[in-house]
Amino acid sequence: MTRRLLDLLDTKEMVVVCGSGGTGKTTVAAALGVQAATRLGGRVLVLTVDPARRLADALGLAGALGNTPVRVDVPGAELWMAMLDTKAGWDELIRRHAPDPALRERVLANPLYRNITGRFVNSHDYIAMEQLHELHASGQYDLVIIDTPPSRNALDLLDAPGRMREFFGSALLKWLTVPYRSRLFNVATKPFNQIADRILGSRFLQDIAEFFVLFRTMEAGFVQRATEVERLLVDDRTTFVVVSTLDPAPAREARFLAEELRRRSMPLGAMVLNRTLPAEVRRPVAARAAVALRALDPGVVGEVAATAAVRPAAAAHVIDEVARRFGEVQSVATREAERRRELEVLAPLVAEAPLLAGDVHDLAGLRALGRRLTGGREAGGSR
C-alpha cells in the first residue's frame, strides 16, 4: 500500500497490534517495527508475545530474559525487542505495589501466588498492556509496538485493565479476605476448616486467605495503575492496528473488534489484511487463461509433454488439474474481495500483504512483509 501506514507509525508513540488468533499479529508487529526503525529512525521497541521459535532465534531473542529488551541487529537502525513474560510481569507489579519488603517477599513466596495470578481472567492481556505502559513511560523509546496474546475473545484485551481495577475494588476480594479473619474465631466454621485442612493439606485455606489479605494491602496501587493503563488505550498517542486474514471467521472478528474499539473511543488506526490472495488472480484475463488451458489442443499438450519428457496423458492431466484448481482459487479471491469491501469502511487506513512463500522467520522475511504493508523501500532492504 502507501506510505500512510508509515505516517501512522510516525505520528504515534504506542501501537497495539491485535486481532484473532493466528492471523499474523506477531509477525506484523515485528515487520512494522523493522520498517519504523529503518525508515523513520528513532528508538523502536517491539514487545512480542510467544513468537515462533525460528523467528525468535533469527532475531536473537531466544536467550532474552523475559521483559528485558534486547537490541536486534539491524544495520542503521535502533530496533529493540522483548518477549512478554507474564510471570515476570506479575512479579514486577508486586514489587512495585508491595508496601514493604517483608510483605513483598511473603506474596512472592506464597505457594498460591503463581498459580492464582496465572488464572486471573485476562492475566496475559493485562500484563501486556501494563508492559506497554511501563515501556512507554520509561521514555527510552520513540515508538513502542505491542503484539497481543492470542485471546479467546477479542474484547478480553480491551477490557483487561478495567477488569483488573474492578477486581481490586470488588466486593469479591473483600469477601474472600474479611470472612476468613472472622472464620478463624468462629466456632461454627472451625470444624469446616479442620476438615478442609485435612483434605486439602493443612495450609491450603490459610495460604488462600493470606494471599488475598496480602493482595488487599496493594489495592490502592493496583487500582491506580490499572486506571492509568486503561487511559493509555484511549490516549491520542496510542493507535490500534487490527490484523485479519480474509477468511470468514477472522474477518468477522476483525469487524467486531473494529466496532468495539469505536464504541470504547479507542483509536483504530489501521486494518492489516494479511495472507491475502494476489489481486491478479481476480483479473478476467486470468479466468480466460484458465478456460483456455482446459481446452488445449491435443497437439499443444503433446508438445508440452515432449518438452517436459513425460507422457502426453500425464501432461494433459496436470494442465487440466491446475486450470480447474485455479477456478477454485478465483472463487476464494472473489469472496475475499467481498470481505475486503466490508472491512475497508471500518478503518481509516487499510494495508494488505499477500501470503508470502514460506513462513516469515527471519529479518529478510520481516522486511519483505513490512515493505508490502508500507510500500516503498527501506535503506538496506535486500529482498
Ligand X SMILES: Nc1ncnc2c1ncn2[C@@H]1O[C@H](COP(=O)(O)OP(=O)(O)OP(=O)(O)O)[C@@H](O)[C@H]1O
Q: Which does residue 151 touch among ligand X, Mg ion, none (CB within 5 to 8 A, set by kind)?
A: none
Beta strands in 211-364 (DSSP E): 238-244, 268-276, 350-354
- CA dist., res. 247 & res. 340, Å (int): 10
Contacts of residue 84, Cβ cutoff 8 Å, sequence gap at least 6: 47, 48, 49, 50, 67, 124, 127, 128, 131, 147, 149
Q: Which does residue 339 touch among Mg ion, ligand X, none (CB within 5 to 8 A, set by kind)?
A: none
Bridge partners for 81 per DSSP: 46, 70
Binding flag, residue 353, ligand X (CB under 6 A): yes
Binding flag, residue 26, ligand X (CB under 6 A): yes
Interface region with ligand X, contact rule CB under 6 A, candidates 19-27, 34-42, 112-120, 338-346: 19-27
Q: Which does residue 41 touch among ligand X, Mg ion, none (CB within 5 to 8 A, set by kind)?
A: none
Q: Which residue sits closest to Mg ion, CB atoms considered?
A: 26
**Smallest distance, Å, CB 84 to Mg ion?**
10
**Smallest distance, Å, CB 269 to ligand X?**
18
Looking at the Cβ atoms of 177 and 276, the one nearer to ligand X is 276
Give ∠ CA 281-283-285 in degrees, rounded to 5: 110
Binding flag, residue 323, ligand X (CB under 6 A): no
**Which residue among 38, 86, 274, 374 contacts ligand X (CB under 6 A)?**
274
Interface region with Mg ion, contact rule CB under 5 A, candidates 23-31, 74-82, 285-293, 301-309: 23-31
**Which residue among 24, 33, 89, 269 contacts ligand X (CB under 6 A)?**
24
Q: Which does residue 275 touch among ligand X, Mg ion, none (CB within 5 to 8 A, set by kind)?
A: ligand X
Interface region with ligand X, contact rule CB under 6 A, candidates 25-33, 96-104, 232-240, 298-306: 25-33
Q: Which does residue 38 touch among ligand X, Mg ion, none (CB within 5 to 8 A, set by kind)?
A: none
**Smallest distance, Å, CB 188 to ligand X?**
49
**Which residue among 44, 61, 218, 360 contacts ligand X (CB under 6 A)?**
360
| HEC-encoded secondary structure of 19-45 | ECCCCCHHHHHHHHHHHHHHHHCCEEE
Name the amino acid, one letter, at 114. Answer: R
Binding flag, residue 131, ligand X (CB under 6 A): no
Q: Which does residue 274 touch among Mg ion, ligand X, none (CB within 5 to 8 A, set by kind)?
A: ligand X
Q: In the numeric block, which cell numbers belong to residue 63?
A: 536467550
Q: Which does residue 105 touch among ligand X, Mg ion, none (CB within 5 to 8 A, set by kind)?
A: none
Q: In the numeric block, which cell numbers belong to residue 349?
A: 487506513
Looking at the Cβ atoms of 97 and 124, the one nearer to ligand X is 124
- CA dist., res. 220 & res. 199, Å (int): 35
Beta strands in the chain (DSSP E): 14-19, 43-48, 70-72, 78-83, 143-147, 238-244, 268-276, 350-354
Dihedral sign, Cα of residue 287, residue 289, residue 292, residue 293: negative
- Of 26-65, which residues contact Mg ion (CB under 5 A)? 26
Contacts of residue 229, Cβ cutoff 8 Å, sequence gap at least 6: 126, 129, 130, 132, 133, 161, 164
Q: In the numeric block, which cell numbers belong to residue 367?
A: 522486511
Q: How many CB atoms within 10 Å of residue 379? A: 9
Residues in the chain, overall count: 383
**Smallest distance, Å, CB 41 to ligand X?**
25
Binding flag, residue 23, ligand X (CB under 6 A): yes
User: Contact positions toward Mg ion, by CB under 5 A?
Assistant: 25-26
User: Contact positions toward ligand X, by CB under 6 A?
Assistant: 21-27, 52, 150, 274-275, 353, 355-356, 359-361, 369
